[in-house]
Structure 1
């Protein structure tokens, strides 16, 4: 069976055609958690921490009029409240949340979520439809589809890093052609898009 090369740092790992097709067909709606835990931006960090403990989650989505504007994680609380010796009951969630909220559509494919997580180096994505919060998808949700997706998330993070380097150094890139969708070791920047040599010749 034909296999697609996955590697930037993991060049010896491969994603099978069957798994690739599966990833293309499954949408975020199919794997997201509905009714995600959320809290108003004006609530105290203490209230948020209690809610997170009650729901046994490591993060909580911060909303304003039902629209996600940020996310509060255990790490945020440790770094910005505990380490700073602040009173969690007197600090509003909006003061320490991570923002803006990076979201994804429920109709988006898994590949898009993987790209977003890799680009922003995050593990959770609020799912928004028509401006309203409808769910949450996490790195764990993606890995339940295929453990190999963890490597893909890391790969997209590396590709994004290389994109920035490419602007400084004229060199070939490894990744997915933005025209034909095939993975290539020789991508070329053509008008801000990374294309394989074949597509670059046609577009150019």
Structure 2
């Protein structure tokens, strides 16, 4: 299964120069748990609900006074639409991330989340079994 088959294409974004209240407002309005932070149209980070709560608690400041840029995590893990779901799931596990922006060339075209992977787990397993069965048949034909 390819990433393009399960990614969401309506990516909720906020500009890197925005304040945290704008990011939280977008999350609430779109009923999502994170926003992709853009710098010049390119993903520069992700801010999650947990990040917003942690920042509010730790700083004690109003969300309007907290810069989104201060919450962005390091390098953003991204994937391509033609990557396999198995590959991106492995990267998510290896890098301990739950959300991965999907980039086609230089364009942000979607996002894949751990929830997306879990919802499609039976399809992924079925596909893996079919591939395994085909490989077994090919190996038998070669013998």
Decide: shared fold, TM above 0.5: yes
Quick check: which one's helix share is greater?
2
Name the CA distance, whole Å, in 2 between partners of 1:145 and 1:51. Answer: 26
Gaps of 5+ in 2: 125-143
TM-score under structure 2 normalisation?
0.81
Gaps of 5+ in 1: 1-25, 150-204
1:83 Cα deviation (Å)? 3.0
1:28-177 equivalence runs, <5 A: 28-146=3-121
Structure index of larger Rg: 1
TM-score under structure 1 normalisation?
0.58
1:99 Cα deviation (Å)? 2.7
Name the CA distance, whole Å, in 2 between partners of 1:61 and 1:81. Answer: 19
After superposition, the C-alpha distances for 1:42-88 in whole angstroms (9 at most, x for unaligned) are 01100110110000111000001211010000111111223321221
After superposition, the C-alpha distances for 1:109-159 in whole angstroms (9 at most, x for unaligned) are 01111111110111111101112211000111111221597xxxxxxxxxx
Name the CA distance, whole Å, in 1 between partners of 2:99 and 2:106. Answer: 18
| Contact 2:14/2:23 (<8 A) preserved | yes
Quick check: which one's strand share is greater?
1
Q: CA RMSD in A?
A: 1.5
Name the CA distance, whole Å, in 2 between partners of 1:79 and 1:88. Answer: 11
1:35 Cα deviation (Å)? 2.2
SS in 1 for 2:38: strand
SS in 1 for 2:59: coil
Name the CA distance, whole Å, in 2 between partners of 1:78 and 1:148. Answer: 35
